[in-house]
A and B are shown apart, each in its own frame.
Chain A
Amino acid sequence: MGLSIQKSNLSLIAPVDGLVVARDAEHGSTVVAGQAVIELIDPQQLWINTRIAQNQAQGLTAGLPALIQLRSRSTHTLQGQLGRIEPKADSVTEETQVKVSFTQPKTPLTPVGELACVTIALPSLPVAPVIPNASIHTVNGQTGVWQIKNAALEFTPITLGAMNLAGEVQVTSGLTAGSRIVVYSERVLAANTRFIVVDSLIKNASGDAPRD
């Protein structure tokens, strides 16, 4: 009786049904207390540990839709959503850690540990004028844009709001909708630079940024 209780103490019982992904000890190995013997996952509960730079982690809430690209299937974009924002950030890498789950359970199983690229869609912002990020310059320590006023260049300091992935930046002050600004130039501009406005600086270039 006592012997069988002692023996049952030695058997390891998994808390859930799952798939063994690693066996760290063999028959006859000596293991110490706290050492992992078998690693087990539940394939239905896979998620992606996503690290987001803290300065870009503003506005993250659980439930936001996410687009997932797995490195092994980079042409496919999978749907997912933001599951949880970890209460503890990584202080070394200065990143907020979030969990992103797949909307549809993945079949076939993605190897655990695979690299994934996650794009999280933030809620839309109130409408404000936007400028391309290529037009933003720093002159004498001030951030601003080169504006075309009365056929002359004028540097206008501006304050910037949020930027989207297509490189459009909201302008909170300094510019009004309909202002003419310089986006591309052949060289670094100054107030007395002579200029000609052209459609495009390179041949065969569509003015738009490429699709992401």
Chain B
Amino acid sequence: MIRSEILKEIAPILRDQLVVCNIGIPSQELHAIDDQPTNFYMLGTMGLASSIGLGLAIAQPKTVIVIDGDGSVLTNLGTLPTIGNNAPANYILMIIDNGSYGSTGDQPTYTGMKTDLAGMARAAGCDNVVEVQDVDTGAALQAAIDGGTATVMVVKCDSGNAKMPVITMDPVVIRDRFMKSVAG
């Protein structure tokens, strides 16, 4: 499966949750598949989805699901120790690990070679790290939501992107409707 197929499959699970979605094609895919006011789309700033989600999870009690990528986590590796030492129970980081920089032309990342993101997360202090195959994502995500403990999921899938339109929504609108959903 490629990322967009996973997103289609888990869209019904994501719909009722606060979701912080990674920059580029992942946000475009989620927006096209099932746009929700509970989705915060990153339009810029590669690498910070996990940090934004962590700040959000600490600040309020609702479950926060971060949809991140292997390339984006690699660009902000300092996030893993911060998560490992601070993540509250309502924090779920789902790293879609397709071993490539999807938004820039599927150039390979190091996670498709020798680098093991799940091992790095564990070494950084994340207690609950689960490695998931693409077809099992929905069940694993639901288990993480129901489990009520901070979770890092590393979802292994194929490289590839669906052709989706660029998000043209005003960033302040994205942020404002998201904040209203958080507070609601």
Q: Do A and B come from one complex?
A: no
- List A residues at the B interface (Cβ < 8 Å): none
